[in-house]
Structures are given as C-alpha cells and as structure tokens.
Amino acid sequence: MGKKRIAVLCSGGGTNFQTIIDGIKAGEINGEIVLMIASTKTAYAIERAKENGIPVKVISKAKCGSLENAYEKRHEALVECSPDLIVLAGYLGILLPKTIQAFPNKIINTHPALIPSFCGPGMYGHHVHEAVLNYGAKVSGPTIHFVNEQVDGGPIIAQDCVPVLPDDTPDTLQKRVLKLEHVLLPMAVKKFCEDKIRVEGRKVIIDA
C-alpha cells in the first residue's frame, strides 16, 4: 500500500501539525505531507514545515487582497497537489463548498469541544472554552470529524473527554483538551492512511 499524500492547513503554532510529522517520522503513519498551507505569514507552523523539509505556501488575506481571493487560491493549491487527505490543524479559515465537494470524506478537522455542543459559526479557539465554562458544563474534550458544508457538521471520527474543573480558565481547559487532540488526530490520520475508516451516513466505522 503506497503512502497517502497529505495536505495540511494551519493558522497558528502548528502543534497538531507536529503530531502528524512525528507520526510519519516514527513510521506509525503511512503518509507523506506534500504541502502545508499557512493562512498567515506569522504562523509558527511555517517553521515546523521548513525544519522538516515540507513544502509551504503562505496564502493569506493580506497577500491575496481579500479573504475571497485567499480561499480561491487555497482551493487551487489543494487541487494542484492532489492530496488523498486534507487535515485542518488549527486552521481558522473556511473552505469553499467546491473544495469540500472535490474531497468528500477526505478532509479532517479538529474541534476543541464535544460536538454537537459548543460548535458552529463563531465557535473557535478560546470562544469555545469560554462557552463551555459559562454554560457550566462538567466535561469537555476534542472532536475529530470529517468536514462537510455545515460548520462542524461532518461525521465524527473520534472524541474523548476531560473534566471541567471548578477553577478552570479558558487557558487551563484549552491545554487539557489540546493534549487529547494530540492523541486523537494522529490516530485518525493513521487509520485513514491504512484505509481503515469507513463512512456510512453519519456514522464512522474504524476497523481495528
């Protein structure tokens, strides 16, 4: 079985991106990262890509003149590199409907809450953890899911939970959730690259 071609989109530090790099280096993920697209030139994920010889394209709003142009350029870059899998690793933008249609059940996203709670438009980053704390939820955790045209609405691949503690802040909760993201995301990518993930309607079946 040949290696899967993986494209990654990042907007920030790229710690989730690093887990995929590490999994490939360790021989646990049968894939190759053929492109990392950064949505801003200040994303530290760019340094991670350069350190590991991964091709990088910075396709930012500033560079393209508008968000619409940036989304179009990102679409073109993804189609051009013909990935088997696209991973949104801390990516704060959206994908065009035609991008999602071009890669059905081939785009994986991480969300820092237990979908279908605390998700949808405007729910990203610290906004999510603030909402969890304000609601008084007792548990939270990451969701790894496929991307469809509904924000945070695609079939769920994996979830795990952490307790929400009485003295939690958005920062402390975010750190605990992120630790689990660093476990679940590379697991999902590994299984995808082994052709062990099947989607049946809204259900995702992962073969052992």
Q: Which two tokens stand for residue 37?
A: 């697209």
CA dist 63 and 60 (Å) reads 5
Active site (catalytic) residues = 111
pLDDT per position as a tens digit, 24-36: 999 999 999 999 9
User: Looking at this protein, which amino acid is placed at residue 64?
Assistant: C
pLDDT per position as a tens digit, 152-181: 999 999 999 999 999 999 999 999 999 999
User: Quick one: which of 208, 112, 94, 103 has its CA closest to 160?
Assistant: 112
pTM: 0.96
- Is pLDDT above 80 for 13? yes
Cβ pair 155, 108 in contact under 8 A:
no
Which helix (DSSP H) or strand (DSSP E) does residue 176 occupy? helix 170-193
Q: Which two tokens stand for residue 20?
A: 């995929």
Q: Burial letters for 152-161: b for 16+ Cβ neighbours within 10 Å, e otherwise?
A: bbbbbbbbbe
* Mean predicted confidence (pLDDT) in 32-49: 97
pLDDT at 1: 73
- What percentage of the chain reaches a pLDDT higher than 70? 100
pLDDT at 178: 96
User: Quick one: which of 164, 181, 182, 161 has its CA closest to 173?
Assistant: 164
* Mean predicted confidence (pLDDT) in 2-6: 96
- Is pLDDT above 90 for 208? no
Which helix (DSSP H) or strand (DSSP E) does residue 80 occupy? helix 67-81
* Mean predicted confidence (pLDDT) in 20-48: 97
Q: Which residues pair with 104 in a beta bridge?
A: none
* Mean predicted confidence (pLDDT) in 103-115: 97
CA dist 161 and 62 (Å) reads 37
User: Quick one: which of 45, 17, 13 has its CA closest to 33?
Assistant: 17
